Each structure stands twice: as structure tokens, then as C-alpha cells.
A and B are shown apart, each in its own frame.
Chain A
Amino acid sequence: MEVKLDKNYPLAVDMSSAWQLLCDVPAVAGCMPGAAITGQLDATHYTGTVKVKVGPASAAFGGDIEVRALDAASRTLQLFGKGADRGGSSASMELTAIVRPGDTPDSCVLVGQASVIVNGKFAQFGGRMMVQVSDMLLAQFVENFRVEATARAASAAASAAPPDATPALPGADATATGAMPAVAPARAQGQKEINGLAILWALIKGWFAGLFGRRA
């Protein structure tokens, strides 16, 4: 099961803050719901985990992440991740993330192009929801990324000190994601798996939007 995503997300963050965050692979991984970097093998190789649960399909993928390119000139990051789950699923993802100029100097556009392949039980059970789940994951990722980048920019501006690796974020609430996923992102939730209720909510919202012709 392959899902290809190509999305542009305008962010109210300046280009350089966004790019700085993008260069921090563990922090980027931390923005992905349910994902975490568990170790670094060398300059470009990491190990990590991703937990996802959708209805009957749940998986805890453990695997390797390779940074294939990190080009400051074009502000482009290319990642390749591959992992397997003990319950008989496997997944891989090729991700290209680019930071492009926004409409104003204080904003930028995060361009994400991803190709996600899942195999095994996860594809068999969750296949029909893959596109929606991927959209949802990416939306949460971007929201977390925005919060993190904003926080970093703010703390960099507030003090001359280098950005704290794990600054506390006001309003962070790791338990509130269930009902209102889009409004309660948090850096602290990085380790949390994506929540089935949240996806259901997004699906229902999307369905209603579609009904009334408001879908993009």
C-alpha cells in the first residue's frame, strides 16, 4: 500500500527558524505523532520508533532512519525511514521537506513530499484509511512543527542563550489531543501514538466538509 503526499503548509515562522528546526532530526521526529528517535548510529543514521493505531490496525514500527540530504542552500531535507512491527507489518517512508519563503519575512512555507509504503497487517486492515490517516498525521506533524519552531524562535529572541533542547511550553497538554487534535498540539506529546478518536473526528469533519462541497 503506497500513499504519496505532496503538501504545502504556510507557517507563521521565519524561514531561518524553520530551517534550524528541520536540521535537528530528533526534534523533527519528535514533531511526528507517536514517533521518537531512540538512538544515533552516526552523523546521518538514527534508530527510531513510530506507534500508530487505527481501529483494528495497530503497529509499533521500530527501524532505521537515514538522512539522505541536508542542503542548506536549498533548505531541503531528505529522509528515508524503514521499520517493522512485531505483529506482522512493515513500513517505509521517503520524505522530502523544503522550507520556502512565505508571503512576509516572518512567514515561510513548509513543503512536504512523502511516499509512504506499508505492508502486512497494517496495510490489510488499515489500507482503506491510509490516505486519511496520512493526511491526519501530517497535519498534526505540521502543527507540532509550527509550535516547536515558534517556541524556538521566541526563546532565541528572549535570551542570548542557545535554544533549550526541551523548553516547557505553556498550554501543553498531552492528554487533550483526543477530542480536538488540531488545537492542542504539544511538544511533550511527541512520544504519544496517534489517537484513533482524533482520526475518527478528522474523518467525520472531512466527510461533512465534502458533503457541503467545502473540501479542498
Chain B
Amino acid sequence: MNAPKEAGLAERASALQGMGESRLRKEDARFIQGRGNYVDDIRMPGMLHMDIVRSPLAHARIKRINKEQALAIPGVHAVLTAEDLKPLKLHWMPTLAGDVQAVLADEKVHFQMQEVAIVIADDRYIAADAVEAVEVEYEDLPVVIDPYAALAPDAPVLREDLAGKTEGAHGRREHPNHIFTWEAGDAAATEAAFAAAAVTVKARIHYPRVHPCPLETCGCVASFDPVRGELTTYLTSQAPHVVRTVVSLLSGIPESKVRIVSPDIGGGFGNKVGIYPGYVCAIVASIVLGRPVKWIEDRVENISTTAFARDYHMDGEIAATADGRILGLRTHVIADHGAFDACADPTKFPAGLFHICSGSYDIAAAYCQVKGVYTNKAPGGVAYRCSFRVTEAVYLVERMVDILAQKLGLDKAEIRRRNFIRKEQFPYTSPFGFEYDSGDYHTALDKVLAAVDYPALRAEQAATRANPASPTLMGIGLVSFTEVVGAGPSKMCDILGVGMFDSCEIRVHPTGSAIARMGTITQGQGHQTTYAQIIATELGIPSEVIQVEEGDTSTAPYGLGTYGSRSTPVAGAAIALAARKIHAKARKIAAHLLEVGENDLDWEIDRFKVKGDDSRFKTMQDISWAAYHQAPPGLEPGLEAVHYYDPPNFTFPFGIYLCVVDIDRATGETKVRRFLALDDCGTRINPMIIEGQIHGGLTEGFAVAMGQQMPFDAQGNLLGNTLMDYFLPTAVETPKWETDHTVTPSPHHPLGAKGVAESPHVGSIPTFTAAVVDAFAHLGVDNMTMPHNAYRVWQQLRDCGAAL
């Protein structure tokens, strides 16, 4: 960027509200006035409502379904079961992970609340009544909840539809309940590192099953026009173009006649990436009945059936020298995928990007192996506010490094400092083959330790521990994380064969305003605000007159959507490069208008000026008018461009988080005294939005670490699927957040930006655990399983004899 040389320049730059400005969110005006337009706000003439009959049992054979009583209720139009979908071959559908999933249960139910039948009625209430009138007779089958038990030789076979299939989408299946075994790294080199090491540590780290639980549940309004043969569906999707492709492939309707619209989305966090049976059923019902059909999940359905996250059982091992230099890292993971493998990962990566698990450390040898397993739970395994399985990976390595530090009696900051990848090692190739683009971990660590006066905190902790009358235990959690986001380079990453590029189309209008259409879709990230800022800086057009449109597949260019912190790394780059195409054409037009050569022009904020003569210039507004009025000979009129950006690499944002907790020895309640998050996401586009995203991510991380859980009983009942049980923190529970940053731009991204919204989630969860465990470290505790709610922490206090 040009540094403003005089007051006039600074004013002109600031008037654009471009990159680096804390521009107020453009989205907020409509949301705070109740003028948002969510899927459930959509009402169409003649619209019918769908509700779903779900299984109370986690594993059972369906003996009989009787729809007669339901059909007899006035206002009920149809009751459909798998038998009805069979002739259309839609009773099963392919998943993004290469498996198949029952749209409606076909002879068997595989998890509690699985979709068994649908009811279409005049209104939502009649539909709900009719659901209760559908009689389903089940025969119980043995339920498998524990993924280790699922792999026992005599375990009940869950997926009878896969009988005899020894080859899965990701290689050989060793057991009827085994989905895949995926590995990365160098097993032999790692084995050698362990054999030679002075110290090794090993621990089972469980990352429990949680749910993203966005405020808006999933739903859709499907509208098939039988006369035109066109299908329009309003749908809560983080990836509307992918949905269009899948719907076209499933239904046989040409993709040009399928329009998917994601209107305002009330939070996604990975929950709205997948394609759910409810969507497919509503679309089928609309096609069959020739009328619009609305389906909106309720909260219990959302938590119980649409994409959960995590559920990784990780056996971690570290080999190190006696002074704490890490030589090798190894992990074996059992991944509970539920009844169908419906993870949303890039095709070639059934465990996502879990192999980022060497973290921020320079480790010579590493190996990981992930086994996917079927159980009688709902399918999913999405990236809950994180890139694919990155949260699990960071949690593993950060827990293991703390365990090593405790074994060696080393300070938790010191062990990190000793093992960090050094600034001069970037670009750094990890033992798993990732090429980390840029980083400066030592500087960030020093900044955080200085900000909190770390030695003083440790001294206070020592004093608290020495005082037997202290009513609290004090814990300090410190985490350094490196994320891999911005999926991704199409040579590595695809979804259903479509490369994971993203796209932008910009049109500059004759009067100098502009519209940008994107392949992504905002769900709270503020794209309409930040994307406009990128264009403002690139093209010298004020943000205020730049419209950003997303989510309508009939107007937006094809894109892979918003998840895995990919909007800024991928779509942000597409915007910059589309803008630069326009910029290049604008230079030609300016040269023509000023009657000089293109090389005789300088760009300055919002105009091209003749070198050495500030009085001769053309603003972007002049150029826009000219583009439609007197384009230079040989140049097409108009001023627009499209860019599809296929990133050359992922980006690697990082951060250092520190948390201080005080645990009440009488009640087990954990009070977060202080939480400091230092993030480095490279170039910062809108500091205010970054801070908001970090606050949101920290709050969700707090929720996961301190309260969210999905407990199952032995029969497969989910005992926490309402907001009575499932913890969503409000302002009452949420601690105060402090934020800081360093800036280490990505060398391969056109703007140097790396993506940020998921870092606080990925980084904060292990920080909370580290702080809680650290409070018990002097009592010999080196790991505790989330969530750290008062009862569980109190149990730990009791077990250590520390409870008052």
C-alpha cells in the first residue's frame, strides 16, 4: 500500500474504508432491526410443512410401519418411508466421505433419532401430530456405543448393507465395523527415535463428542416447478454450490435448472456443511407433490442428528532427550464416526488435516494412524469452528507436551521455547510433509509472557500451593498452536472431485460503484464488510458503494463455500486477483484518457496520475465511466473480471494463549481469572471484526472445554440433547477476554492474510484444559478429560484429597 504522503492522501485513503480499517459491520443494521432473512423466514404460496418420524432406539430392525392413522388426519398430504423412496433410488445417498447414508431407515435403524419416515402436511402442527400417529414396530438389536467394543471380534455387525465389502473408500476394511485406517508420517524413523530416546511419555487423550449447536438449526424450503422443470431450494448451507452439484447428481435434474440459495445463515460452525436426509426428503416431497415444502429442525433434532464434531480417542506418545528436546511424536487414534461415515473432509483425507499434530514444534520424526469406526451414534465428524480435525491435533500435541514437561519437571513455557520451529526455519517442512508458510513463535511467546508477568504468576501459584488453607487451587495454562487452514490446493484437496478453489466476480458500474459475487457464504464472519474493504484498497472504490453478494448459485460463480477458515485465504485471494485484473484494464483506460503510456502512470489510492505531475490524473470513478463510454480502441467496453483462485499452499496461522484459573476446592467450580489470546493471522483486514471473531471463538472454546458434552447411555440414548443440558455460554458465564496480535504475513497469499476465525476455538480449548490440569499438577495429575464442569473437577479434587 502507498503510505499517504500528506494530509489529503490520508483523508482519501480513510474515506475508502479499505484494508486495515475497523469498518463497522454492514450486516448488523438488518440483524439488529429484525430484518434478516433466514430460511425459516421464507414463506411461499401453497407451501407445505414436513416433519420427521425418528427412531427412539439406537439399533433395531424395523418390522412394520403403519401410516394409516397418520394419513387419516385432515391436512396430511403424504407419509413417505424408505419403501416409497426405493423406486426413485433415493432411500440411500452418497456421503462426502465415500460412504452411503440411509435417507430414510431401510429395514434397520442405526442410531437414536434416525430418520424413519416423513410426514407432509398443511402446517407444522398437523405434521407434528401426524408424526405421532405413524406406528413403527421395532425389534431391538444389540447396541454398540464404545468404538473399542465395536472392533471386538464378536461385536454386532452394524452396517449389514456393507456385508462382504472388504474395500472401503480409503482402503481395506479389517472388521465389519471398521471404516478405514489412515496413516501419515514415517513409522520406521519414528520407531527409531523412540528406541534411542532418553525419555518417553504416553497417554490416552480423549476428545469427547460435541456439537456445534448454531443458534439457527438446519432447514430448507424446496420448491419444484413442475411446469418449468426447475428446482429452487433455500437451504442452510455453508457450501451452496456443492449442494447444487449433489442435488443435480441425485435427482437427475440438470445443474442449470437447480438453484440453491443460502440466505442469511444464523451460524454454521461446520454443522451446515453436510447434506442431510431432511434436505433430500423435502426436495423429493416437493418434486412428488409439485408444491413448496419447508423443513426446519427443532433443537433436539439438531443436536441429536445433524453433524456432531470430534469423538477422537487418541493414544499419544512423545520421545525426548533428558533436557526436553522432542525427538519423536507418535499417535494412534480411534475415531468414532457414528453409524455412517459422513465426515466432510477433502476426499483424500479421511482424518482431515489431523497430521498437523506435530504442532509448532521442530520434531524430526512423527507418525500418526487414525482408524475410523462405526458405532450406533449419529453420523458427522465435522470441523466445529476449525479446519478439518485440526482442533483434535492441536489438543493432542499440546496435552502431550505438557505431560512431558511435568515428567521432566520443566516449566511449560520453557519446554515450548526449546522446541519451537525457529523464525529462520520458515518455510518449514513438517515431518508429515506440510510446508508451513511463515511464523515467529518465539516473539509471540515472549510478548504473552511479558504481558502477564509470567514469573510473578508462577510465584503466586507456588505460594498458593504452599498454603494448605488456600480455598482455591491456581492453574496456569499455556498453549502454542499452529493451524492449517485455507483448504486447499486442488492438487491435494477436493470435495466429490471438485477442486477446493474459490471464486470472485467483480463488476464495476459506469458510475463507479461495484458489486462482487462470491462462491463463499457468510454465517457471521462479516464477509459483506471485509470483502468490500479488500476491493476498496485494491481498486480505490469506497467500501460503502461496493455490494457483496453470496449464496445464490444462479448468480454467484462456483465456489466451495465457507468453513475451515478458508474464506480469507482462498476467496480473499480470489477477490484481490479479480480486482487486480480490473486494475490492469483501468490502467489501460487511464493511459488512453491521459494520452500517455501505461508505464508513465502511478497508482495512488483511488487514481492513476501521470508521473511527476499531480495535476494530471483520472480517478477510478472517471475510469469507470470511460469504460462504458469511450473505451480505448481494441479494448472491450465494460469493467469486470472473474477470478478462480487455486491456492498454491495452505496458510498456517498461529497463536500463543495463556489462561489463569482459580478452582474452588469446596465446589469444584473453575473461575477463569485471566485469558490472553495472542493471534497471528498475517495481514489484518478489519481489526474490529478479527477481535469479534476471536471473542466468539474463545467463547465457543470455553463452552467445549468447560461444559459441552453428548453423553450416551448403554442403550444409545443421547442424554444431553436439549439446551437444558447442552452448555451454550451466555454473557453471564463468559469470562473477560484479552487479545493481542503479531503480524507475520503469508508469503504466498496475494494479501498476506491467513484466516483467523477458528484459531481462538482451536487454541483456547487445550488452554483451558492445560490451566485446569496445571492446578492439579503438584498433586501428580497430568491429564483430565473435558468438560471441566464443577462436578467433574470436584471429583478430581476428591480423588486427590484436595476437596474441602
A127 touches B717 (CB 8 A): yes
Q: Which of B166-174, B237-245, B519-527, B718-726 contacts A (4 or more CB under 8 A)?
A: B718-726
A124 touches B57 (CB 8 A): no
Taken residue by residue from 103 to 119, chain B's Cβ proximity to chain A (1 for < 8 Å, 0 otherwise) reads as 00000000010000000
User: In the bound complex, what is the Cα–Cα distance between A38 and B285 (angstroms)?
Assistant: 39
Instruction: Give the residues from 100 to 138 in chain A that come closer than 8 angstroms, CB to CB, to chain B.
Output: 117-121, 123-125, 127-128
Query: Main SS of chain B's interface residues?
Result: loop
Taken residue by residue from 267 to 304, chain B's Cβ proximity to chain A (1 for < 8 Å, 0 otherwise) reads as 00000000000000000000000000000000010001
Total interface residues in chain A, CB < 8 Å: 18
Instruction: Given A119-B112, A123-B713, decide whether A88 and B138 contact each other with a Cβ distance below 8 A.
Output: no
Instruction: Given A86-B133, A90-B138, A125-B722, decide whether A1 and B717 contact each other with a Cβ distance below 8 A.
Output: yes
Query: Main SS of chain A's interface residues?
Result: mixed
Query: Taking the complex as formed, is A98 at the interface, i.e. its CB lies under 8 A from any CB of chain B?
Result: no
What are the residues of chain B within 8 A of A89 when measuring CB–CB? Answer: 56
Instruction: Given A119-B715, A124-B718, A127-B717, decide whether A88 and B56 contact each other with a Cβ distance below 8 A.
Output: yes
A21 shortest CB reach to chain B, Å: 31
What are the residues of chain B within 8 A of A124 when measuring CB–CB? Answer: 300, 304, 717-719, 721-722
Query: Taking the complex as formed, is B132 at the interface, i.e. its CB lies under 8 A from any CB of chain A?
Result: yes
A120 touches B56 (CB 8 A): yes
Query: Taking the complex as formed, is A84 at the interface, i.e. its CB lies under 8 A from any CB of chain B?
Result: yes
B133 touches A127 (CB 8 A): no
B interface, size bucket: 20 to 34
Query: Taking the complex as formed, is A87 at the interface, i.e. its CB lies under 8 A from any CB of chain B?
Result: yes
What are the residues of chain B within 8 A of A128 when measuring CB–CB? Answer: 719
Taken residue by residue from 51 to 89, chain A's Cβ proximity to chain B (1 for < 8 Å, 0 otherwise) reads as 000000000000000000000000000000000101111
B352 shortest CB reach to chain A, Å: 30
Query: Taking the complex as formed, is B67 at the interface, i.e. its CB lies under 8 A from any CB of chain A?
Result: no
What are the residues of chain A within 8 A of B719 when measuring CB–CB? Answer: 1, 123-124, 127-128
State which of B57, B135, B713, B722 has its C-beta within 8 Å of the C-beta of A90.
B57
Instruction: Given A87-B132, A90-B138, A128-B719, decide whether A121 and B713 contact each other with a Cβ distance below 8 A.
Output: no
What are the residues of chain B within 8 A of A193 when measuring CB–CB? Answer: none
Query: Taking the complex as formed, is A94 at the interface, i.e. its CB lies under 8 A from any CB of chain B?
Result: no
What are the residues of chain A within 8 A of B56 when measuring CB–CB? Answer: 84, 88-90, 119-121
User: In the bound complex, what is the Cα–Cα distance between A120 and B54 (angstroms)?
Assistant: 9
A86 touches B132 (CB 8 A): yes
Taken residue by residue from 673 to 717, chain B's Cβ proximity to chain A (1 for < 8 Å, 0 otherwise) reads as 000000000000000000000000000000000000000011111
B584 shortest CB reach to chain A, Å: 60
Instruction: Given A2-B713, A2-B715, A90-B138, decide whether A119 and B57 contact each other with a Cβ distance below 8 A.
Output: yes
Q: Which residue of A lies closest to B716 (CB)?
A: A119
Q: Which residue of A lies closest to B134 (CB)?
A: A86
A105 shortest CB reach to chain B, Å: 43
Q: Which residue of A lies closest to B56 (CB)?
A: A120
A1 touches B722 (CB 8 A): no
What are the residues of chain A within 8 A of B721 when measuring CB–CB? Answer: 124
**Which among B54, B58, B112, B304 has the greatest number of chain A C-beta atoms within 10 A?**
B112
User: In the bound complex, what is the Cα–Cα distance between A84 and B57 (angstroms)?
Assistant: 11
B57 touches A2 (CB 8 A): no
What are the residues of chain A within 8 A of B713 when measuring CB–CB? Answer: 1-2, 123, 127
User: In the bound complex, what is the Cα–Cα distance between A84 and B56 (angstroms)?
Assistant: 9
B364 shortest CB reach to chain A, Å: 49
User: In the bound complex, what is the Cα–Cα distance between A127 and B135 (angstroms)?
Assistant: 24
User: In the bound complex, what is the Cα–Cα distance between A5 and B466 (angstroms)?
Assistant: 46
User: In the bound complex, what is the Cα–Cα distance between A87 and B128 (angstroms)?
Assistant: 10
A101 shortest CB reach to chain B, Å: 36
What are the residues of chain A within 8 A of B112 when measuring CB–CB? Answer: 119-120
B722 touches A2 (CB 8 A): no
Instruction: Give the residues from 177 to 209 in chain A that come closer than 8 angstroms, CB to CB, to chain B.
Output: none
User: In the bound complex, what is the Cα–Cα distance between A71 and B718 (angstroms)?
Assistant: 39
Instruction: Give the residues from 22 to 72 in chain A that come closer than 8 angstroms, CB to CB, to chain B.
Output: none
User: In the bound complex, what is the Cα–Cα distance between A125 and B113 (angstroms)?
Assistant: 14
A88 touches B54 (CB 8 A): yes
State which of B133, B135, B715 has its C-beta within 8 Å of the C-beta of A1.
B715
What are the residues of chain B within 8 A of A127 when measuring CB–CB? Answer: 713, 717, 719
What are the residues of chain A within 8 A of B54 when measuring CB–CB? Answer: 88
State which of A84, A86, A119 has its C-beta within 8 Å of the C-beta of B717.
A119
User: In the bound complex, what is the Cα–Cα distance between A52 and B713 (angstroms)?
Assistant: 21
* B residues lining the A interface (CB < 8 Å): 54-58, 112, 132-133, 135, 137-138, 300, 304, 713-719, 721-722
A-B contact list, 7 entries, CB within 8 Å? A1-B715, A87-B132, A90-B56, A118-B717, A119-B58, A119-B716, A120-B56
- Apart from A84-B138, A120-B56, A124-B304, 10 more pairs, CB < 8 Å: A2-B715, A84-B56, A86-B135, A90-B138, A119-B58, A119-B715, A120-B55, A123-B713, A124-B300, A127-B713
* A residues lining the B interface (CB < 8 Å): 1-2, 84, 86-90, 117-121, 123-125, 127-128
The 9 closest A-B pairs by CB, nearest first: A120-B56, A123-B717, A86-B132, A127-B719, A119-B56, A90-B56, A1-B713, A88-B56, A1-B717
